[in-house]
C-alpha cells in the first residue's frame, strides 16, 4: 500500500529526484508523491509546498543613478529624457523593473537624498511631463518603475523645515527632532548626546535662535523627520499615494530602519576612545516603533499591489529582518541588508580596513539564503548600488586579464541565488572603479570628502591617511557614480560636453556599444542569467538553496532544488587554478547551460577550475 501524505512524520527523508538527502521538518514541510512494489515503498519528497508565487519574486530590477546615466540636453548631467532614450537598451537586458534614485526637487547636498519638494521634479533632471513619458515608455515595453522614497529626513530647504526653524511655535516644529543642549563645565552648549553622524561629526546641530539642537543622522542639511508625530507619517503616506496615482509601481524605502529612534536618546558606549562622537546604530537602526510604522506603509503598498524594498543598514540579524519581510507580515516585500556588502568594512568606519575570505563570503550568502527559505522570507540580491565601489574592483581584480572573467563569475554567484535580483547601471558591462592614480580632489561625494577632511583636521599620520585613501579607492560612492560609458566617442557618449564627473579612462575599451552585440561580453552574460532565471524559474527562483563543499576555502558551489529539478552553480574566488574534488552525489547526467569561459563540457570527479571560473549545470530529472 502507498504511504499516505497524512501519515508523513519523518524528518529524515531521501529525495530521489534530487539524488541527495535533505532534512525536512516542520519549517520545511514536503509534498509527497509515492509508489510501491510488493516489497518496497518509496517516498518522493519535493521542495514545492508552501511556495508563495508572486510577480515581484520573479522580477529582475535595473538600478539607475540619473545624474550619471545619460545627458540629453548637453549640460553634462544625466536626466530623465536621457533615461527615456535608453529604454530599448534596458529592455534588451531582460529586466522587469527600473529603479531610479531621487529626482525630486533638491539642493543636492547629498545628490537628491535631501528632498525639498516631494511632489516636484528637480529642473536638473527634467519635468513632471518627462516622468510621465518615462512611465509610458516603461509600461509600453512591459516594465515597471520604482522610485526612491526618502522618508527618514528632508532637506533643510524643505518648506516644513524652514518654517520649523523660523519659530518654535510653527505647526511644523514637531515635524523634526529638537532637544535642549547639555551644558558643559564652562557653560558651553553641548550636543544632547555623543552620537556620531553617518557623514562625520555630531548628529546634532545647534540653532542659536531657539537655543535647541536639531537631529540629523546624515548631513547637517538633512534634518531627520519625527516619525512619532502622526502628521509626519500621514504626509509621507500622502506622498506615496500621489506617486502611485501617477503610475509609479513601487518604492525603494531609503534608510527605512532609521525612522524609529530610542526616545531616550542615551549616550552611545565608548568604542573609539580617540573620537568625540561614537557609533550609535544600536539606538536608531531598529527602534521600538519601527514595525508599527512599516506596517502602516505596508497597508498602502498592499492596497495597490505595489513593489517595495527597504534599505536597512547595520542589521545583520535575520531574526530581526524577517519581522519586516515575512510573507504574512505585509510590511515590505524584501530589504537590502548589507552584511555581504560590508564584508570588508572595518570596526570603526566604512573606510577602515578589514580582510575577508571567500569562505566568509559564501557563509554570509548561505546564512541569508537558508534562513529566508526556512522562514518564508525573501532576499534582495545585489553586489552593487549607488553607494559602493564596483564589485569587480572591490572583491576580485579589475586587471585587464581577469576583469571580464571575474565580472561574469560575480554575476553567476549572485544571479542564480534565491531572491529578487538587482543590477546597478554599468555592472552589466563589468565597469570598474576610478583609476588609483586619481587624487582625492577627483572625489565629489560628501561622505568621502567629510571623512578625509576629518582625518586632516585630526592630523593623523601619513600612514593612516594612506590606509584611508586605499579604502576610499575601493569603497567610495563616487566609483559607482562615474558617467555611464555608452561608446568610445568623446565623453563616452554620455554627454556632448565635459560631464559633472570625469569619465573613467578605460571608456574606449569598456563601453556598451562594444558589448551589446558581442556574445562573449559581460552584457551578454548578464542577459543569459536573466533568460535562465525565466527558463528555469521553478528551480532558480523558488528552488531550495544548499551549499556544496561548504568548507572549501576557494570554491563557492551551491545547489538549487525544486521537486525533480536541480541545478549546480560553481564559482571560484581564486585568481589561480584550483583542483576541486566534486562530491560523488553530484556526478549525474545533465548539461552545462552557462559558463564564463565558454568551453566547459560537463562534470568530472576531479575538476580543474580556472581563475574566477563559473558555470551552471542543470541536472537531468
CB 575 within 8 A of CB 612: yes
For residue 85, being part of any structural domain is answered with yes
Q: Let me know if residue 7 belongs to a domain.
A: no
Query: φ and ψ at 338, to 5 degrees?
Result: -110, 20
Domain boundary among 528, 563, 592: 528
Q: Is residue 592 part of a domain?
A: yes
Residues 346 and 411 in one domain: yes
Determine the structural domain holding residue 196 and report its residue range.
Answer: 160-215
Look up 169 and say whether it is catalytic.
no
* Phi-psi region at 518: left, alpha or beta (left = phi > 0; alpha = psi -120 to 50): beta
Does 78 reside within a domain? yes
The residue out of 215, 246, 262 marking a domain boundary is 215
Which three cell numbers, joined as nine digits, stand for 128?
Answer: 513632471
What is the rounded CA–CA span in Å between residue 390 and residue 411? Answer: 12
What's 488's domain CATH number?
Answer: 3.20.20.80
Alpha carbons 612 and 401: distance in angstroms, whole number: 11
Please name the residues in contact with 412: beta carbons below 8 A apart, sequence gap of 6 or more: 529, 569, 571, 594, 596, 614, 615, 616
> How many structural domains is the chain composed of?
3
Question: Which comes out higher in pLDDT, residue 160 or 22?
Answer: 160
Which pairs with CB-CB distance under 8 Å and at least 24 residues apart come from 312-315? 312/256, 312/257, 312/285, 312/336, 312/337, 312/338, 313/255, 313/257, 313/258, 313/281, 313/285, 313/338, 314/257, 314/281, 314/285, 314/338, 315/257, 315/285, 315/286
- Judge whether residue 371 has pLDDT over 80: yes
Residue 535 in any domain: the answer is no
Task: Name which of 572, 545, 549 is nearest 559 in CA terms.
Answer: 545
Residues 63 and 196 in one domain: no
Beta strand residue intervals within 445-572, DSSP E: 544-548, 555-562, 565-572
Contact in structure between 312 and 257 (CB atoms under 8 Å):
yes
Active site residue 311: yes
Mean pLDDT for 160-166 is 98
pLDDT digits (tens, 9 = 90+) for 234-257: 999 999 999 999 999 999 999 999
Give yes or no for a contact between 469 and 446, defined as CB atoms under 8 angstroms apart: no
Q: Is the pLDDT of residue 19 over 80?
A: no
**Do 209 and 295 fall within a single domain?**
no
Of 71, 114, 311, 331, the active-site residue reads 311
Q: Which of 254, 344, 445, 613 is catalytic?
A: 254
Residue 43 forms part of a structural domain = no
pLDDT by residue (tens digit) across 95-134? 999 999 999 999 999 999 999 999 999 999 999 999 999 9
pLDDT in tens, 461-515: 999 999 999 999 999 999 999 999 999 999 999 999 999 999 999 999 999 999 9
Contact 598, 520 (CB under 8 A): yes
Q: Do residues 611 and 498 share a domain?
A: no
* Residue 23 reports pLDDT greater than 90: no
Question: Does residue 190 share a domain with residue 323?
Answer: no
Name, in order, each residue with C-beta under 8 angstroms of 354's C-beta and a sequence gap of 6 or more. 343, 344, 345, 346, 347
Domain membership flag for residue 258: yes
Last residue of a domain, one of 215, 244, 261: 215
Exposed, middle or buried by CB within 10 Å (0-12, 13-18, 19+), for 450? middle
* pLDDT per residue as tens digits for the range 535-578: 999 999 999 999 999 999 999 999 999 999 999 999 999 999 99
CB 369 within 8 A of CB 545: yes
For residue 621, name the pLDDT band (cuts at 50, 70, 90). Answer: confident
Q: Are residues 368 and 426 in the same domain?
A: yes
500 and 610 part of one domain: no
Sort 525 into a burial class: Cβ within 10 Å, 0-12 / 13-18 / 19+: buried
* CA–CA separation, 168 and 116 (whole Å): 20
Contacts of 500 (CB under 8 A, 6+ apart): 67, 76, 77, 444, 483
Instruction: Say whether pLDDT at 13 is over 80.
Output: no
| Whole-number Cα distances in Å, 519 to 61, 91, 514 | 22, 17, 11
Contacts of 130 (CB under 8 A, 6+ apart): 79, 80, 81, 84, 121
129 and 168 fall within a common domain: no
Are residues 122 and 236 located together in one domain of the fold?
Answer: yes
- What tens digit of pLDDT does each residue of 61-96 get? 999 999 999 999 999 999 999 999 999 999 999 999
Question: What grid cell was written down for 260?
Answer: 524609529
542: left (phi over 0), alpha (psi -120 to 50) or beta: alpha
CATH number, domain containing residue 197: 3.90.400.10
Question: Band of the pLDDT at 49, cuts 50, 70, 90?
Answer: low
Residues 241 and 195 in one domain: no
Quick one: 142 and 172 in the same domain? Answer: no
> Do the domain assignments include residue 12?
no
Cα separations in angstroms, 233 against 237, 239, 243, 286: 6, 10, 16, 17
The CATH number covering residue 568 comes to 2.60.40.1180
| Contact (CB, 8 A) for 567 and 544 | no
Kindly state whether residues 137 and 173 are assigned to the same domain.
no
Q: Which of 616, 613, 618 is nearest to 407 (CA)?
A: 613
| pLDDT tops 50 at residue 11 | no
Amino acid at each position: 500500500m502507498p504511504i499516505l501524505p497524512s501519515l508523513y512524520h519523518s524528518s529524515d527523508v531521501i529525495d530521489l529526484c534530487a539524488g541527495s538527502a535533505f532534512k525536512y521538518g516542520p519549517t520545511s514541510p514536503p509534498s509527497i508523491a509515492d509508489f510501491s512494489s510488493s516489497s518496497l515503498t518509496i517516498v518522493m519528497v519535493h521542495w514545492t509546498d508552501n511556495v508563495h508565487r508572486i510577480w515581484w519574486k520573479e522580477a529582475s530590477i535595473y538600478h539607475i543613478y540619473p545624474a550619471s546615466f545619460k545627458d540629453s540636453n548637453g549640460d553634462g548631467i544625466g536626466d530623465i529624457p536621457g533615461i527615456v532614450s535608453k529604454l530599448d537598451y534596458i529592455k534588451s537586458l531582460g529586466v522587469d523593473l527600473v529603479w531610479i534614485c531621487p529626482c525630486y526637487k533638491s539642493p543636492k547636498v547629498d545628490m537628491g537624498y535631501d528632498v525639498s519638494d516631494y511632489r516636484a521634479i528637480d529642473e536638473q533632471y527634467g519635468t513632471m511631463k518627462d516622468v510621465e513619458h518615462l512611465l509610458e515608455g516603461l509600461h509600453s515595453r512591459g516594465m515597471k518603475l520604482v522610485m526612491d522614497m526618502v522618508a527618514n529626513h528632508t532637506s533643510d530647504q524643505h518648506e516644513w523645515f524652514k518654517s520649523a526653524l523660523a519659530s518654535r511655535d510653527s505647526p511644523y516644529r514637531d515635524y523634526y527632532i529638537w532637544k535642549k543642549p547639555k551644558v558643559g563645565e564652562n557653560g558651553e552648549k553641548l550636543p544632547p548626546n555623543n552620537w556620531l553622524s553617518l557623514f562625520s561629526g555630531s548628529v546634532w546641530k545647534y540653532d542659536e535662535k531657539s537655543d535647541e539642537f536639531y537631529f540629523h543622522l546624515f548631513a547637517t542639511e538633512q534634518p531627520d523627520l519625527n516619525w512619532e508625530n502622526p502628521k509626519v507619517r500621514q504626509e509621507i503616506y500622502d506622498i506615496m499615494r500621489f506617486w502611485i496615482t501617477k503610475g509609479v509601481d513601487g518604492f525603494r524605502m531609503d534608510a527605512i530602519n532609521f525612522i524609529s529612534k530610542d526616545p531616550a536618546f542615551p549616550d552611545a558606549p565608548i568604542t573609539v576612545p580617540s573620537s568625540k562622537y561614537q557609533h550609535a546604530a544600536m539606538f536608531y537602526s531598529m527602534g521600538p516603533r519601527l514595525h508599527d510604522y512599516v506596517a502602516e506603509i505596508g497597508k498602502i503598498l498592499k492596497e495597490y499591489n505595489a513593489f517595495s524594498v527597504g534599505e536597512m543598514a547595520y542589521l545583520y540579524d535575520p531574526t530581526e529582518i524577517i519581522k519586516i519581510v515575512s510573507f504574512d507580515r505585509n510590511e515590505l516585500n524584501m530589504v537590502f541588508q548589507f552584511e555581504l556588502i560590508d564584508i570588508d568594512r572595518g570596526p570603526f568606519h566604512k573606510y577602515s580596513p578589514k580582510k575577508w575570505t571567500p569562505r566568509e563570503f559564501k557563509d554570509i550568502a548561505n546564512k541569508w539564503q537558508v534562513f529566508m527559505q526556512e522562514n518564508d522570507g525573501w532576499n534582495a540580491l545585489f553586489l552593487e548600488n549607488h553607494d559602493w565601489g564596483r564589485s569587480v574592483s572591490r572583491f576580485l581584480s579589475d586587471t585587464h586579464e581577469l576583469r571580464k572573467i571575474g565580472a561574469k563569475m560575480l554575476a553567476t554567484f549572485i544571479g542564480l541565488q534565491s531572491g529578487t535580483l538587482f543590477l546597478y547601471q554599468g555592472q552589466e558591462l563589468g565597469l570598474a572603479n576610478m583609476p588609483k592614480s586619481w587624487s582625492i580632489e577627483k572625489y565629489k561625494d560628501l561622505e568621502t570628502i567629510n571623512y578625509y577632511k576629518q582625518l586632516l583636521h585630526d592630523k593623523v599620520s601619513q600612514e593612516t591617511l594612506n590606509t584611508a585613501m586605499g579604502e576610499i579607492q575601493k569603497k567610495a560612492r563616487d566609483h559607482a557614480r562615474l558617467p555611464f560609458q555608452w561608446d568610445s566617442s568623446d565623453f563616452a557618449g554620455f554627454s556632448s560636453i565635459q560631464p559633472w564627473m570625469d569619465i573613467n579612462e578605460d571608456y574606449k575599451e569598456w563601453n556598451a556599444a562594444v558589448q551589446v552585440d558581442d556574445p562573449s561580453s559581460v552584457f551578454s552574460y548578464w542577459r543569459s542569467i536573466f533568460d535562465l532565471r525565466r527558463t528555469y524559474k521553478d528551480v532558480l527562483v523558488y528552488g531550495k538553496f544548499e551549499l556544496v563543499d561548504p568548507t572549501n576555502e576557494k570554491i563557492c558551489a551551491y545547489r538549487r532544488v525544486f521537486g525533480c529539478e536541480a541545478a549546480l552553480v560553481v564559482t571560484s574566488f581564486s585568481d589561480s587554478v584550483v583542483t576541486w574534488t566534486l562530491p560523488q552525489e553530484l556526478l549525474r547526467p545533465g548539461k552545462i547551460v552557462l559558463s564564463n569561459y565558454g568551453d566547459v563540457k560537463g562534470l568530472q570527479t576531479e575538476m580543474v577550475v580556472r581563475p574566477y571560473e563559473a558555470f551552471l549545470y542543470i541536472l537531468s530529472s
